């Protein structure tokens, strides 16, 4: 059955196949018995709880950013047994990302290459979508970035906007300063730029009072 489904899905381009499969599963898990059985199937993964940096995880299996950029498939990922799910990268304003095709299969290597370019629905839409997941047993992380057309001199404002608007809806933050698909983004890894960015976010973190954990993605420095 898997081989047959894989063959059918592989007739589609990778990005279309991703959305087709996930939208199908989203409908599928809305059937009460189906979601119950899926969660039972993955129950073993929930028997390894642990705590890290003040966060309590129900298991050690997590999903990194990029798969569910817009927080559309959290129910599916929970049913599949993930103990934490990182959404994003999220930017202040919606953006389409790079031109298609931008996701490529390496079939012989069982791998993918992507150059998506921070395509997402924007922080306002995503924050609203997250409100219905206030009562949950798994961890949600928010991966945040800047819009492509925001100059680096103003990038702090983009990160701060995302940080503030997602603050009540996620458990930790990842500050994305590593993507090669946003022009000049990696310049924010320079010490002065990174120090300014993280100190601004920490000041807001302190002001808001919950002291959320956050890290700078692929940077030699990080803050807690």
Tens digits of per-residue pLDDT, 194-213?
999 999 999 999 999 988 88
pLDDT of residue 210: 86
SS (H, E, C) 112-132: EEECCCCCECCHHHHHHHHHH
Tokens standing for residue 183: 């022009």
Asked if pLDDT for residue 2 goes beyond 80, the answer is no
Asked if pLDDT for residue 72 goes beyond 90, the answer is yes
Q: Are 87 and 141 in contact (CB under 8 A)?
A: yes
Mean pLDDT of the 176-187 span: 92
**Choice between 174 and 39, residue whose per-residue pLDDT is larger:** 174
Q: Are 166 and 127 in contact (CB under 8 A)?
A: yes
Q: Are 166 and 122 in contact (CB under 8 A)?
A: no
Residue-averaged pLDDT of the chain: 91
Mean pLDDT of the 34-40 span: 83
SS (H, E, C) the chain: CHHHHHHHHCCCCHHHHHHHHHHHHHHHCCCHHHHHHHHHHCHHHHHCCEEECCEEECCCCEECCCCCCCCCCHHHHHHCCCCEEEEEEECCCCECCCCCCCEEEEHHHCEEEECCCCCECCHHHHHHHHHHHCCCCCEEEEEECCCCCCCHHHHHHHHHHHHHHHCCCCCEEEEECCCCCCCCHHHHHCHHHHHHHHHHHHHHHHHHCCCCEEEEECCCCCCC
Mean pLDDT of the 121-142 span: 96
Confidence of residue 219 (pLDDT cuts 50, 70, 90): low
Active-site hit among 178, 179, 199, 219: 179
pLDDT of residue 43: 59
**Of 20-34, 93-107, 141-155, which gets the smallest average pLDDT?**
20-34
Half-sphere exposure in the Cβ direction for 47 (13 Å, CA): 5
pLDDT of residue 220: 46
Measured CA to CA, the distance from residue 125 to residue 52 in angstroms comes to 29
Domain ranges within the chain, ordered by starting residue: 2-217
Confidence of residue 223 (pLDDT cuts 50, 70, 90): very low
Asked if pLDDT for residue 114 goes beyond 80, the answer is yes
pLDDT of residue 46: 55
pTM exceeding 0.85: yes
Mean pLDDT of the 69-91 span: 94
Question: What is the fold of 2-217?
Answer: TIM Barrel (3.20.20)
Tokens standing for residue 54: 């003040």
Task: Tell me what percent of the residues of the chain surpass a pLDDT of 70.
Answer: 94
Annotated active-site residue 179? The verdict is yes
Measured CA to CA, the distance from residue 79 to residue 64 in angstroms comes to 16
Asked if pLDDT for residue 57 goes beyond 80, the answer is yes
Task: Tell me what percent of the residues of the chain surpass a pLDDT of 90.
Answer: 72
Q: Are strands 62-63 and 172-176 parallel, antiparallel or unpaired?
A: unpaired
């Amino acid at each position: 059955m898997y081989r047959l489904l894989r063959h059918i899905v592989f007739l589609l381009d990778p990005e279309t196949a991703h959305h087709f499969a996930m939208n199908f599963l989203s409908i599928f898990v809305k059937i009460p018995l189906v979601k119950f059985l899926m969660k039972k199937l993955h129950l073993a993964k929930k028997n390894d709880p642990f705590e890290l940096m003040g966060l309590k995880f129900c298991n050690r299996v997590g999903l990194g950013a990029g798969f569910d950029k817009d927080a559309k498939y959290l129910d599916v990922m929970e049913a599949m047994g993930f103990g934490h799910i990182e959404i994003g990268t999220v930017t202040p304003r919606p953006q389409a990302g790079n031109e298609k095709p931008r996701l490529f299969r390496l079939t012989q290597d069982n791998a993918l290459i992507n150059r998506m370019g921070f395509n997402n629905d924007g922080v306002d839409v995503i924050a609203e979508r997250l409100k219905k997941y206030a009562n949950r047993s798994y961890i949600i992380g928010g991966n945040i970035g800047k819009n492509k057309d925001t100059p680096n001199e103003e990038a702090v404002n983009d990160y701060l906007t995302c940080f503030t608007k997602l603050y009540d809806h996620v458990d930790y933050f990842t500050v994305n300063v590593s993507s090669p698909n946003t022009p000049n983004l990696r310049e924010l890894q320079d010490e002065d730029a990174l120090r300014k960015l993280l100190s601004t976010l920490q000041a807001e973190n302190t002001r808001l009072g919950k002291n959320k954990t956050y890290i700078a993605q692929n940077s030699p420095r990080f803050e807690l």
